[in-house]
Structure 1
Amino acid sequence: MLEAVQMLLPEPVPVHHLGLFREPTTLQPVEYYNNLPYHRPTSVDPDPFPIPEIAILLDPVIATGGTASAAIQTLLEWGVKKVVLISVLGSEAGVKRAAEENGSEGIEVWVGGLDVEVNDKGMIKPGLGDVGDRLFLTIGK
């Protein structure tokens, strides 16, 4: 099995982390971590970290679409040509915003399920609860 995967991916695939969260009162995205390589070319190494043609972005829930859109914008500014956003659940308006706010060309959004709306706190209705609380066991804080 490993040999089959190695045949499909002949060279290592870079994995980078771009961390954003939604500030709860303003519902605006906040970037807390970014390890995308921003190294400048030199005469010795003209392309030390080539920018990939495609980036796969994972976001468990797209509620308002703000953090997904901000992450897409960061990747496009970095130079990625195509962004594939994969999510478990999204609101209709949030998925539309994520897909269209930075120009729809070069952006694909794959969502496992859609709910119709979000409430005034930016949570999907009926949704599945706060994913951050579920991931980091902070329910009840």
Structure 2
Amino acid sequence: MSPLGYEYTTEDISPSKISLVPILRSGLSMLDALQALLPSSVSVHHLGMYREKSTLQPVEYYNNLPYHSQGDETGASELAIIVDPIIATGSTVCAAIDTLRDWGVSRILSISILASEGGLRRAAEAWPEGVELWVGGVDVGTDERGMIRPGLGDIGDRLFLTLGK
């Protein structure tokens, strides 16, 4: 029951079958808050991705998803929660979805603060039956650099004070 008296369904998943997957660097800004919301500790596996400036395509430079083989009991998480504050073009979250599907997750929840309409649409089409997208707000579009308009700028640069590099 919600604080306002509305009933809602919940799902009981073992914490060992849930993973938080922040996209480096900007996803780190949301990690502590999400961990504080969960009733139990869960694994954190980082994906390092950046957008190549001329093509706006994602480049994966780091992946610490645990390796597993067929029949391995630990395997992939049932639920992977992608943590990235911005979905601009949708390329990065789509690449993360592909990586997590290849790892073998059953479901993905992507949590973002802001998205563009086109980026959100693209992400929703990546794996419609396996992905839920939660966003706090949606701006209309992106500029020629792939940044959301009016947007928030590069969260990783803002978080680590590396603006202009």
List aligned pairs for 1:1-141, cutoff 5 A: 8-9=39-40, 13-40=42-69, 46-47=71-72, 49-101=74-126, 103-141=127-165
TM-score (norm 1): 0.84
**In 1: Cα distance, 2:63 partner to 2:121 partner:** 25
Q: Which moved more, 1:121-130 or 1:46-55?
A: 46-55
| Deviation >6 Å, runs of 4+ | none
What displacement does 1:130 show? 1.6
Fraction of identical pairs, as percent: 60
SS across alignment from 1:71: helix
Q: Which moved more, 1:12-21 or 1:69-78?
A: 12-21
Q: Which moved more, 1:13-22 or 1:65-74?
A: 13-22
Aligned Cα RMSD in Å?
1.7
User: Which residues of structure 1 form unaligned runs of 5+?
Assistant: none
TM-score (norm 2): 0.72
**In 2: Cα distance, 1:109 partner to 1:39 partner:** 26
Structure with higher Rg: it is 1
Contact kept, 8 Å, 2:68 with 2:76, in 1: the verdict is: no
What displacement does 1:50 show? 2.2
